[in-house]
Amino acid sequence: MSYQITFYGHGTFGLKIDEFQMLIDPFFSGNPSTQIKPEDLKPDFLLITHGHGDHVGDAVEIAKRTGAKVIANAEIARWMSDAGAETFPQHIGGGHDYPFGYVKLTQAVHGSALPDGSYGGMPAGFLITTPDKKKVYFAGDTGLFAGMSLIGEEGVHLAILPIGDNYTMGP
C-alpha cells in the first residue's frame, strides 16, 4: 500500500491511501496558512471533524464539484446534504468500511456550531484503519481527554494532534 499525508495549513490535511484521496477539514478560502485553492484538488472523500467554519470550510463546494462523499456526524452530514453534497453520516463510536479503509468516529472535546449558527452535533476525531491494518488518528480540534488513552490502545501508527493552545490542547 502507498500512503501520503499533506499538511495544507491550519487544521486541513490531505491523506492519500493508494488511489483514494481524502481531505480532512478542507478550509482553503480565506485560510492565511495556505496558497492552495479548493479547485486545485479533486478528492474522493471529505472528512469533517466539526462544524466550525475553519473546518467545514470549502467542503460543500468541493463535494459538489468533484462528487466527493462527505463523512461527518449526522448533523453536519444533514447540513451538507441540504446544500447539495453527497454524504455518509456516522456517530461517535461507530465505524464504516470505505474503499480506502475503515473509519471510526472518536470523541473530541470542542464546539461544533455550523457557519450559519445551527447545531453541528458533537465534534469528532477520525480513527482510520487502512486495508493493511495501519491506523491513523486525526484528533480534530480537541482538548485533552481521558478517552485518548483508549484510542492509543487501538495501536495507532500515526496521530495528528492539535497543539495550538487556546482553542485546542496546549503545552
Give the CATH number of the domain where residue 137 resides: 3.60.15.10
72 domain-assigned: yes
23 domain-assigned: yes
170 domain-assigned: no
Tally of domains within the chain:
1
167 domain-assigned: no
In whole angstroms, give the CA distance from residue 116 to residue 109.
21
- pLDDT 10s digit of each residue in the chain, 171 long? 899 999 999 999 999 999 999 999 999 999 999 999 999 999 999 999 999 999 999 999 999 999 999 999 999 999 999 999 999 999 999 999 999 999 999 999 999 999 999 999 999 999 999 999 999 999 999 999 999 999 999 999 999 999 877 778 877
Residue 131, domain extent: 3-160
141 domain-assigned: yes
69 domain-assigned: yes
169 domain-assigned: no
61 domain-assigned: yes
DSSP assignment letter at 141: S
